[in-house]
Structures are given as structure tokens and as C-alpha cells.
Structure 1
């Protein structure tokens, strides 16, 4: 920077894998300590700290939005199961009069709701993987369809829309979706099990 002859005031290190930055920094520090030199290092994350901080905020907000969507879907399962219980009240009463216990009725509706939740989670997982694998193609298609530029490089500093699937996040989302969908079936199944066959068949 100071144009001193025979002296390098700054050295720029370019790595092939940006995820190895901490490992490379430790190696550079070790070499500088062996040579008795003092270094001041600034990596690409520190230079763009504000930008990456904004990205982390967006990431956390998107995760919260995703969980809210899952919760809303769970309420949809609850409402759908309650409507099913009302529609099947006559059938439940017949099963009760034929000897089916409350536990049997409860298991039937619990398994029904569980199948809905598991199948929805499975197909949602497949759709998410497909979108992640072809997100750039989808972006280009939507941009050409709407004649608008989505994720402008001037704003996001990206020539294409990247997508990286994190195993931990995928497992967390899938497990949370399964748990919420199974919890959503508890109340409707209890309600179905409490159906009084005498009252249900009174007007039949």
C-alpha cells in the first residue's frame, strides 16, 4: 500500500474452499509466529460483516416463517380431523355397538392423522430437495415468465442463486413437522373415542 521498495505491506490469500478459512488462518498465524512477524488479518467475512449479518437475520426469519407454516398446517390437520369425526359419527357409533373400544377408535383416527402428516412431510421433503437442486433454473424460468429480475446481482452480489442443503436443518424440519402433525391428531382422536353410540344413533 505504501509502495516501499522490497517490502510487501499486504498479502492477499485466495482459497479454493472458503469454508476452510479458519483452518488457513491458523496455519498463517503459526507461520508468522515461527518467523517472528506480526500480522493483521481480515477475512472476507469481516470485510462484509454487515451483509452477512443481514443474511443471517433473513435466514432466521425464514426459519421462523417455515415453522409458522408447519404450525398452521397442523391446525389444518386438526380441523380436518374434527370434521372427519363429525362426518363419521354414525360409523363410530356402529363400531362401538359392535364391540370396538374407545382405544380402538382412538388408534384408528390417530393412525389416520399420522398417515396424513407423514405423507405430507414426505412429499414436502421431496419437493424441497427438487427446488434446492434446480433453484437456479426455477429462478430463470420465473424471471423470464414475469419479465423481472429476481435476486439482482447488483443487490445480492451473486451471479446465480445458490442453494445448499444442510443435513441438520433438514432433519430438524422433518422431525418438527412429524411431531407437530402427530400432536395435531391427539385431540380429534380423543374426541372420536368419546363419541356416545346411544346419542349418535338416537335419531337413526
Structure 2
């Protein structure tokens, strides 16, 4: 079969030609339970990735809020010297953008490094501990197949960066709303 997309059509043609004495099925039909389990694993991984991004976002929110508290006098000086509300906000939004961009870049680099070395890592674990994370008896393959989906990577990077900017809005607003008179009162 040259193109797997025609598997169901070829199956139906073979079934019609052979009659009902034979049962013709595609590899997808034969491994339906396995493929369903793989799809479930993908959904669980997406769910876990979502929570990792949310936790990272709250970390960004906490870090930038602490920076606003620690730098409130500096922000007051900037405002007293004529910095606009948008200018102060942009400092913290760009900070969130920078944190998100660096985090996403490092995450993608580490993830791709693991993907491209997954078979080596699995063999290393097996040789050192005797444990196989992906036993061939269960997964029906001798090497772990890896497929890199550029669209998925770009989507993940975009979501990570967007969420980091989104989570930096509150600290940016808080910094922009600081009253320079109050922050500089005891200086």
C-alpha cells in the first residue's frame, strides 16, 4: 500500500472480493486499543503541559510583583521625573515577555535534545539499572519512534510567551499605579 490514507478503501475492496469467509482489517483496526491509549496519553500530556504553563505563569506573576515591591522607590523616581504610566507598564510587560521567551527557548532546546536522544537515554537506563521505560513487549517497537511537529512546537512557544505576558499584566498595572509622592515620602 503506497498511501496509508487509502487503507480503509483497500480494506473494503478486499473484503468485498474475498467475501465474508475472511475478515480483512487495517493495522489501525488491529491496534485500535493501542492507538486509543496513545491518543489518551497525548491528551494527558497536553493537560499536564497546560498546568506547567499556568504554574510558570504564576511564578512570573510572583517574581514581577516582588520586583515591583522592591523597586517601588525607583518606580516613584521614574514617575517623578516624568515617566508615563504606559512607559512603566511597558518595562514590566517587556520583562514578562523576556522571561517567557527565554523560558520557552530553553524548554524547547531541552525538549528537542531529549527527543533526539530518547533511544540512547532508554538504552542507558536499561544498561545501568536494568529498567526499560518503554519495554518492547508492551509498545511493539525496538526503537522509540520520534516525530517533531514544528507546528506544535510553535504553538507551545506562542502559548508560553503569551501566558507570561498575560501573567505580567497585574504587576505592570500595580507598578504603573504607584503614587510617586507616597513611594518617595520617606526618602
Query: What range describes the TM-score normalised by the shorter chain of this pair?
Result: 0.7 to 0.9
1:146 to 1:77, Cα distance in 2 relative to 1, 3 A: farther
Matched, 1:67 2:50: yes
Give unmatched runs, 5+ long, in structure 1: 1-14
The size of the alignment, in residue pairs, is 184
Indicate the residue corresponding to 1:182 in structure 2.
165
C-alpha deviation, 1:201, in angstroms: 1.4
Query: Which shifted more, 147-156 or 184-193?
Result: 147-156
Indicate the residue corresponding to 1:159 in structure 2.
142
What does 1:117-132 align with in structure 2 at a 5 Å threshold?
A: 117-132=100-115
What does 1:27-176 align with in structure 2 at a 5 Å threshold?
A: 37=17, 41-176=24-159
1:132 to 1:37, Cα distance in 2 relative to 1, 3 A: same
C-alpha deviation, 1:29, in angstroms: 5.5
Contact 2:11 2:25 in 1 (8 A): no
CA RMSD between the two structures: 2.1
1:50 to 1:29, Cα distance in 2 relative to 1, 3 A: closer
Name the CA distance, whole Å, in 2 between partners of 1:192 and 1:144: 54
User: Larger helix proportion, structure 1 or 2?
Assistant: 2
Name the CA distance, whole Å, in 2 between partners of 1:87 and 1:126: 32
C-alpha deviation, 1:59, in angstroms: 1.2
Indicate the residue corresponding to 1:12 in structure 2.
none
Name the CA distance, whole Å, in 1 between partners of 2:130 and 2:32: 32
**Bigger-Rg structure (1/2):** 1
Indicate the residue corresponding to 1:22 in structure 2.
5
C-alpha deviation, 1:160, in angstroms: 1.8
C-alpha deviation, 1:154, in angstroms: 1.5
Contact 2:64 2:171 in 1 (8 A): yes
Indicate the residue corresponding to 2:181 in structure 1.
198
What secondary structure does 2:17 align onto?
Answer: coil
Give unmatched runs, 5+ long, in structure 2: none
Following TM superposition, the consecutive aligned residue runs of length 4 or more in structure 1 with deviations greater than 4 angstroms are 27-30
C-alpha deviation, 1:104, in angstroms: 0.8
